[in-house]
Amino acid sequence: MIKIPEIEVQNITKIYGNIVALNNVSLRIRDGEYVCIIGPSGSGKSTLLKIIAGIVKPTKGSVYIDGIDVNNVPFDERGIGVVLQDILLFPNMKVRDNISYPPLVKGLDYKTVNSITSEIIRNISLTVLTERFPDELSRGSQQKTAIARAVASGARLILMDEPMGSLDTRSARQLRHELRSLIKDLGLTAIHITHNQEEAMSVADRIVILRNGKVIQVGTPQEIYFNPRNLFIARFIGGELNALEGKVKEIIGNYAIIEIESLGINIKAKIMDKINIGEKVGIAVRPEDILLKEKSSGINTGIIKSYKYYGFYYEVFLDVNNTVLQIKVPRKRWFSPTIGEKFDIDIIRAYVYKYPEEGLEKAIAYE
């Protein structure tokens, strides 16, 4: 039984010139876990991956693999398989030769190399493709071959930097689940970088969110979706967000009653930061958490300014007292919007945060 490694990243800081790519990042990845690291462009995802792999040295901090500080272990001795965005199968070698490359270059004898290779090819069900060159494979098979090659090197931890690359969404959706089951079947630990929140939500055991070189939240997809730690995360996990300003009227356990002056309504919101009564706060309301009521009764009413049709839902921009809310409305029998039509709204879930110093706009910007 081969031990699957546990990775611990402790207080890692990486500075390039005057750019702080990573700022005091700590992280623990458990045996056999499939972790997605997600964050906007330039947030330090690739840098973190390269530091774990040992391709880049951290300015400060340590990486532990199975409790051993590997700072001075060169990357070829860490037992980590790296699969980068542009996959990088050796173009001059057939699939089989790509997979047999690691045992071969480690100096194993010919028989052993062959048996390792055949075993992996069987496990990964690439048998029919072994005599092809990489450029004759689909993106998915290339990706699988790259993982097979990493496994052949003895890696029990696979690091993938944007493995879906520029794949169109339909193929990406299928491929990412194939990747996940492959890695789970082989019993490997994986870190998968993406900037696509949907991708992360659908495959990760846990998600790590990076922003400006800092880890801002770690948790299962559900934990993060239902408890976004700040306004930015509320927007990032979910895609769109109505960020509103409000005032605390009352606190009841984990919830607060907030007056949103601009809409002229009061709502109940989950408390995410420490707040006090009377304080100005930031409110996060996801487009899917606002309901439109079938009949307008004249309370909390808005006018449709514009809408977009996405097949299974409408995206509606509703003007409520001169504040425009973005609302996702699932297709319903009675709902076929026209501009100027009036609807009442019901906000079913909202989060309340301390009012961000930099203002609402900036707090949720992807930059």
Partner 1 sequence: MRKNMTIAIIAIFAISLFTLVFLPSLYLISLAFIEWKQIYDEIFANPYLGSTYLWNILKTLYLSFRLALITVIIDVILGLPLAYIFARKNFRGKDIIEDITMLPLVIPTSGFGFATLITWTSSTGIFRLLGLNINTQTIIPLINLPFLVLIVHISLTFPYIVKTVSAALQETNPAYDIISQSLGASPLTTFRKVTLPLITPSLLSGSVLAFARSLGETGATLIVAGVSVTAPIAIVKWELENKLAPAAFLGSLLIALSFLLIIPIEYYSSQKRRISYSLIPKTKEKIIVKLEKKISKNLWWLRETASGLLLFIMVILPILTLLYTTSVYWSSEPYTGRFEKSIVYELFGPSKMINLVSKAIVTSIIVSSLATFISIYISIPTVLFIVKTRYGEIIRTLLKVPLVVPTSALGLSMILLWGNEGFNIIYPSIWLTILTHVVFSVPVIVEAGVSAYRQLNVELYEGTARTLGATFYDMIETVSLPMIKKSFVAGSILAFTHSLGETGATFLVMGNDITISTLVVNLVESQAIGTALFSSSLLIIVALVLLGVIRKITK
Ligand X SMILES: Nc1ncnc2c1ncn2[C@@H]1O[C@H](COP(=O)(O)OP(=O)(O)OP(=O)(O)O)[C@@H](O)[C@H]1O
Do the bridges between strand 189-194 and strand 301-309 make them parallel or antiparallel, or are there none, so unpaired? Answer: unpaired
Residue 16 engages ligand X in binding (rule: CB under 6 A): yes
Which does residue 25 bind out of partner 1, Mg ion, ligand X, none, counting CB within 5 to 8 angstroms by kind? Answer: none
Specify whether the CB–CB gap between 270 and 258 falls below 8 A. no
Asked whether the CA dihedral 296, 300, 304, 307 is positive or negative, the reply is: negative
Residue 83 has which token pair?
């699969």
Supply the minimum distance, in Å, between the C-beta of residue 207 and Mg ion.
Answer: 16
197 touches ligand X by CB under 6 A: no
The angle that helices 95-105 and 139-152 make with each other, rounded to 10 degrees, is 20
93 binds, among partner 1, Mg ion, ligand X, none (CB under 5 to 8 A by kind): partner 1
Least distance (Å) between residue 198 CB and ligand X: 16
Q: How far is the CB of 59 from ligand X (least distance, A)?
A: 12
195 binds ligand X (CB under 6 A): yes
Residue 210 or residue 258: which is nearer to Mg ion going by CB?
210
Which CB sits closer to partner 1, 107 or 278? 107
Residues of this chain that bind partner 1 (CB under 8 A): 53, 55, 75-76, 80-82, 84, 86, 88, 90-94, 101-102, 104-110, 113, 133, 135, 149-150, 152-153
Task: Give which of 110, 62, 56, 118 is closest to 82, Cα–Cα.
Answer: 56
Closer residue to ligand X in complex, CB, 60/280: 60
Nearer to ligand X, 92 or 166 (CB): 166
Instruction: Measure the CA–CA gap between 329 and 289, rounded to whole angstroms.
Output: 9
Residues 34-73 vs ligand X: string with x where CB under 6 A? -----x-xxxxxxx--------------------------
Cα–Cα dist 142/49, whole Å:
21
Q: Of these partners, ligand X, partner 1, Mg ion, none, which one is at the site of residue 75 (CB under 5 to 8 Å by kind)?
A: partner 1
The structure tokens listed for 68 are 């051993």
Beta strand extents in 294-333 (DSSP E only) = 301-309, 313-320, 323-330
Residue 101 binds which of Mg ion, partner 1, ligand X, none (CB < 5-8 A, kind-dependent) = partner 1
CB of residue 63 to ligand X, shortest distance in Å = 15
C-alpha distances (whole Å) from 31 to each of 51, 75, 294, 317 are: 19, 20, 50, 45
> 3-state DSSP call for residue 345?
strand
The correct pick among 43, 46, 153, 242 for binding Mg ion (CB under 5 A) is 46
Decide: is 337 part of the binding site for ligand X (CB under 6 A): no
Residue number, 144 or 149, with CB nearest to partner 1: 149
- Exposure b/e, 107-139, CB count within 10 A at least 16 = b: eeeeeebeebbeebbeebebeebbeebbeebeb
CA–CA gap between residue 190 and residue 223 (Å, rounded): 20
Residue ranges that bind Mg ion, judged by CB under 5 A: 46
Residue ranges that bind ligand X, judged by CB under 6 A: 16, 19, 21, 39, 41-47, 195
